[in-house]
Amino acid sequence: MIEDPDLYRLFKAESGQHLARLEEDLLRLEQSPADPALLEEAFRESHSLKGAARVLGLVRIESAALGLESVFNAARKGEAPLTPDIVTRLNQALGELRERVQEALAGGDMAEPASPRPSAPTQPPAASSRK
């Protein structure tokens, strides 16, 4: 639960923007999965959402955003290209992330333990060990 009204409003606005941009990026990545600028933008949006969630202790959101961030990072480094299947799974993961944000904004339990990147598509081992 986000108790501070100012932080609540800020997270609501920022998370909505990050989620909308990620959705747009994924739509564009379906057509251009190797576009470096798009991959960088998607990486930055997921990274920013992860950071905002971390500051507020929203571990389930942080974990899900980290999963997206890791896939985008591997793709932008050329370690794991985005295939149509991965883009489909990223879209599913984004839907789950959106639900987690809505739960947090509705007062859901932010202290619930996060499962290890449940929404993240499978990554090659080399990609997950590099930052």
- Interval 21-56: pLDDT, tens: 999 999 999 999 999 999 999 999 999 999 999 999
Reported as a single tens digit per residue, the pLDDT across 58-103 is 999 999 999 999 999 999 999 999 999 999 999 999 999 999 999 9
* Angle of CA points 90, 96, 98, to nearest 5°: 100
123: left (phi over 0), alpha (psi -120 to 50) or beta: beta
Is the pLDDT at 119 greater than 60, yes or no? no
Task: Note the pTM of the prediction, 2 decimals.
Answer: 0.81
Reading the block at residue 58, the tokens are: 């929203």
Q: Are 65 and 96 in contact (CB under 8 A)?
A: no
CA atoms within 13 A on the CB side of 35: 13
